[in-house]
Amino acid sequence: MELSLLLIFWYGILHAFGPDHLTAIADFSIGKNKRKTLLITTLFAVGHGLSLFLFAKLLEHMPISEEILGWGDIISATVIIAMGCYLLFMVLTDRIQLGKHMHNGKEHIHIWFGKSHEHDDTIAQSSSFTMGLLMGAGGVRGMLVTLGAVGSGHVDFAMIGAFTAGVMLIFVGFGLVMLYLNEHFLGNIGNVRRAFATAGIVSLIVGSNILIG
């Protein structure tokens, strides 16, 4: 059993390196501080694991076809493309803002979407969890292959926990990379808008490649 969980944990690590997942993390982590970045990446991983568990349990009792599994890829790609379009819309309509203030002798930078300083970070947090849920459908194919490799078609919380732990390890690590970029390269509005525009374009490319593939 321990070997099976280790294999699923390793699959979670490999699965998290998918360009669609890292693109999603980048989309939500740009401009966030350490606490918010870690919270967003954790929520994404938890949502991803929960969704994968639900889809895998559903498919346990259904005849599995390539067409059914293909819908998971379509859902993931659609979410990524929609996020890319949203980011590009925010950039082109000048709805990305940057503000600075001093707190305890240290400069703090705030980046938000909109025309005023009224912004709510709970939107980004809930959105990252929701995106994790939706994109979990795209991981079902690989999880079922992994379960076949360990000789079991049964999905339980221990397996999903091992998978989510592997995913979370990479997501949080990549979130810290994004945090470094936020702190060292996003000190002016020009760089911020270029970063969001780049993330939007990459999202469109990654999502389109998934659909084409």
Q: Decide if pLDDT at 95 tops 90.
A: no
CA 57/CA 135 separation, integer angstroms: 16
For the chain, how far is it from start to end, CA to CA, in angstroms? 35
How far from chain centre, in Å, is Cα 19? Answer: 10
pLDDT at residue 20, rounded to an integer: 78
- In degrees rounded to 5, what are phi and psi of residue 99? -135, 150
Which residue is it, tokens 């525009």? 197
Q: Which pLDDT score is estimated for 97?
A: 74
Q: Is the pTM of this model over 0.85?
A: no
Please state, in angstroms and rounded to a whole number, the distance separating the CA atoms of residues 147 and 169: 21
pLDDT for 42: 86
Q: What is the pLDDT of residue 6?
A: 86
The predicted structure's pLDDT at residue 201: 94
Neighbour tally for 176: CB within 10 Å: 15
Question: What is the DSSP code (8-state) at residue 138?
Answer: G
